[in-house]
Amino acid sequence: MIYILLFILLLINLFFIVNSIIWLKDKHMININDIIVKYIIYFDFCIYTLILLFLVYLYFNNLAIKIL
């Protein structure tokens, strides 16, 4: 049950990160702060994607253990 809740929360977070990435693609980057924020958002996207994949792996691994 906890895996499903974490999965849903991470999907919501990824949705907002992807929206931020789309928003930053349209923005013309001049300021160094904008560029730093852009790479922080990309880093967040990578980290949350890895966490999401790890949770999916744990969920299916535990499901396979319960079946056996």
42 exposure class (CB count in 10 Å sphere: 0-12, 13-18, 19+): middle
pTM: 0.63
Residue 67: the pLDDT is: 65
Classified as helix, coil or strand, 52 is: helix
The string of pLDDT tens digits covering residues 21-68 is 787 777 776 788 877 887 888 888 888 888 888 888 888 888 777 765
Name every residue whose Cβ is closer than 8 Å to that of residue 11 and which is 6 or more positions away in sequence: 52
Contact between residue 41 and residue 17 where contact means Cβ atoms under 8 Å apart: yes
Q: Which pLDDT score is estimated for 68?
A: 57
